[in-house]
Amino acid sequence: MASTTRHVLVTGGAGYIGSHTLVELLAVSQSGPIKYVPVILDNLSNSCEGNDEAARIPESVKRVGELASWDPIFHQVDLCDIDAVRQVFSKYPFHSVIHFAGLKAVGESVAKPLRYYQVNLIGAMNLMQVMDEFNVRNIIFSSSATVYGTPEKLPIPEDHPVGNCTNPYGMTKFMIEKFLMDQCKAKPDFNAVILRYFNPVGAHSSGRIGEDPRGAPNNLMPYITQVAIGRRPFLSVFGSDYDTTDGTGVRDYIHVVDLANGHVAALKLFEREKPVGCAVYNLGTGQGCSVLEMVTAMREASKVEIAYKVVDRRAGDVASVYGDPSKAAEELGFKATKTLKDMCEDSWRWQQQNPQGFNCS
């Protein structure tokens, strides 16, 4: 069968979602008519330098290479350095870009708003500028359900109002979405797929790659697995008086491998004859899960009792957030298939096999 080769720039490819997406992208390349050649650009600000000094490949990427029998192409470049970005573009005939790179800690963005606006916005603007210069017309962008702010209705559809974000991180996502939409309007052959993730959790089933937060995790799943492994004494459950089934917060958790496959499905849009323009999709399961349901699911997966204490609500949290996944199902043919049990078992395997994550030196 004749195959088509597509060079894809993966910014932030050494990170949590980027590394899982690489695995799925390389898997479809082996079985399908399109051979994707991923090129990774990452400044390693939130990922681990390789333990193997000679190779200078980040540890997560090295492990992706092992899982997928692939020789990684990696450039340690900061998106804020536009000339370095240009140099990468000058080396490959890119067909598309998947843009994961950016800062993502909500609390830190409140404390350091300038840093978040600088890194996320200047990084995205430089990337779009260089794409324009090199005539690269297709981009997939990692957005977040955070752009919806406090939901006015559930499940949240893509046409729900956006922009009422409660923190600078969320504002950067909203603003980058707007840059992309304006660029699509200005250039009819420019295509942008904006993916609004709900709550990504889980890890690759091999246990070789997963989420590796620095310091105490802010998010629920990594906190729970660190309690289960004994790194933290107990989970603080932020509030039990919400208007939900058991009073604790409800979210739409999606397995990171499903999420990765959502990107593969989105890339296929660029193969259609009809221009994509600017398209927005929720990536979630459409199912809500409470904090206590997650604790129970993890106890069953790990066979470890998860100590927890109910404390006050966390500022800025809302009772329930879950998305309507039907547009992605209809237009991308994408549906999350992994269960809460898969999410917990895979997170636990990753945590057990890598108690200190990638063990950054």
- Verify whether residue 169 is a known catalytic residue: yes
Of 197, 223, 334, 350, the one binding ligand NAD by CB under 6 A:
197
Residues contacting 82, CB < 8 A, separation 6+: 126, 129, 130
Sheet strands side by side (includes 320-321): 289-290, 250-251, 320-321
Tell whether residue 221 is a contact of ligand NAD (CB under 6 A). no
11 or 29: CB nearest ligand NAD:
11
Residues contacting 113, CB < 8 A, separation 6+: 168
Measure the CA–CA gap between 235 and 221, rounded to whole angstroms: 10
Q: How far is CA 183 from the centre of its chain?
A: 23
Measure the CA–CA gap between 117 and 169, rounded to whole angstroms: 8
**How many binding residues for ligand UD1 (CB under 6 A)?**
20
Tell whether residue 50 is a contact of ligand NAD (CB under 6 A). no
Please identify which of the residues 169, 223, 253, 281 carries the catalytic annotation: 169
Asked if 97 contacts 138 with a C-beta cutoff of 8 angstroms, the reply is yes
Tell whether residue 117 is a contact of ligand UD1 (CB under 6 A). no
Q: Other CB atoms closer than 10 Å to residue 138's CB: what's the count?
A: 24
Of 28, 37, 80, 181, the one binding ligand NAD by CB under 6 A:
80
Among the candidate windows 90-98, 113-121, 154-162, 214-222, which touches ligand UD1 by CB under 6 A? 214-222
Asked if 343 contacts 256 with a C-beta cutoff of 8 angstroms, the reply is no
Three-state DSSP class for residue 95: strand
34 or 197: CB nearest ligand NAD:
197
Tell whether residue 72 is a contact of ligand NAD (CB under 6 A). no
Tell whether residue 304 is a contact of ligand NAD (CB under 6 A). no
DSSP state of 323: B
Q: 91 to 110, contacts with ligand NAD by CB under 6 A? A: 100-104
CA angle 157, 158, 161 (to 5 degrees): 90
Residues that bind ligand UD1 (CB under 6 A): 106, 144, 146, 170, 199, 218-220, 223, 235-238, 249, 251, 291, 314, 316-317, 321
Residues that bind ligand NAD (CB under 6 A): 11-12, 14-18, 42-47, 78-80, 100-104, 119, 123, 142, 144, 197, 200
Active centre residues (catalytic): 169
